[in-house]
Amino acid sequence: MAEMTLIEAIRQAMDEELARDADVFIVGEDVGARGGVFRATQGLIEKYGAERVFDSPLAELSIVGVGIGAALYGMRPVCEIQFADFIYPAFNQIVSEAAKMCYRSNGAWTVPMVIRAPYGGGIGGGLYHSQSVEAFFTHVPGLKVVIPSNPYDAKGLLKSAIRDPNPVLFLEPKKGYRLIRGEVPEEEYLVPLGPANVSRPGSDVSVFAYGMMHYYALQAAEMVASENIAVEVVDLRTLYPVDKETILQSVRKTGKALIVHEDNLTGGYGAEVAAIIASEAFTDLDAPVRRLCGPDVPGVPFSPPMQEWFLPNAEKIAEAIRQLDRF
């Protein structure tokens, strides 16, 4: 086992997949000599050359469009969107082309591609470098949506995504790139797309989170443990398709559910998790399902105090757990 950061695990996954499969290539803005704005692809152009790790124009539509075309002919592109905030010009390509190709061709054509994008706030990026976009894309059958929260999962999930026969949107919590550390096996391994992970068992309250919020949820669970509140933390990991079974098993055990994400409250992904619980485990609940999310304002503010006001953190999650436990 080797300890590494989240960004190192992501880079290692791409490195290994480039070495394993000659059909894998990386395309995006500044992914070549510069190694990406966050250095996720640092050193890869030196190892694999400019024909497999290459810069694109500032045109997200084209980055994804090129990836779709290459994937249709058997290649396995990894398309980097520099910030998730910039993914919207490629929305039609992702939703109307990549996600629907297998279905509309009755399985004759598949689109084995990965679209990587750093998402979320907490780095002082303001409105245009802090957005959470997952809810837009979890509405799209044919597209898998994956968000890792730790280095082990990041590497294993990304390798699985690259090998998947259909498109995967791989969103990475950029605040955690160098903050979150963990052990990663030196030998080959994969983490399957789909199953959630119970990262901390408990009996009193279930907390459902992903990405950076999962990192904070674990901290919050530790904070309230001294108050005799046993929190079960579930890392959703794959948002679409959603792992209903793990969600329902956890709620049926604890009777209380807190869903945490940093995206806006209204229409956020937490609403889908809440709907699953309400429709299939209502009689198991001992308290209303609660969501702790970003407020309904247009974006994460640039001002540090306002950014803290917007984003959930360990202290806010711990207080929400306490309130729910008192029911």
pLDDT value, residue 201:
98
pLDDT value, residue 324:
97
2-184: CATH class = alpha beta
CA angle 292, 211, 1 (to 5 degrees): 140
Which residue type does 275 have? A
pLDDT value, residue 54:
96
Instruction: Please state, in angstroms and rounded to a whole number, the distance separating the CA atoms of residues 250 and 233.
Output: 9
Query: Residue 231's closest CA among 209, 263, 212?
Result: 209
- pLDDT digits over 27-58, tens only? 999 999 999 999 999 999 999 999 999 999 99
Does residue 214 have an active-site annotation?
A: no
Domain ranges of the chain: 2-184, 197-325
pLDDT band for 108, please (50, 70, 90 cuts): very high
Same fold flag, 2-184 and 197-325: yes
- pLDDT digits over 135-157, tens only? 999 999 999 999 999 999 999 99
Q: What is the model's pTM?
A: 0.97
3-class SS of residue 200: strand
Active-site annotation holder among 129, 139, 214, 261? 129
For strands 231-235 and 238-240, give the pairing.
Answer: unpaired
pLDDT band for 132, please (50, 70, 90 cuts): very high
Instruction: Please state, in angstroms and rounded to a whole number, the distance separating the CA atoms of residues 135 and 139.
Output: 7
Q: Given 3.40.710.10, 3.30.9.30, 1.10.3710.10, 3.40.50.920, which CATH number is that of 197-325?
A: 3.40.50.920
Instruction: Please state, in angstroms and rounded to a whole number, the distance separating the CA atoms of residues 194 and 30.
Output: 31
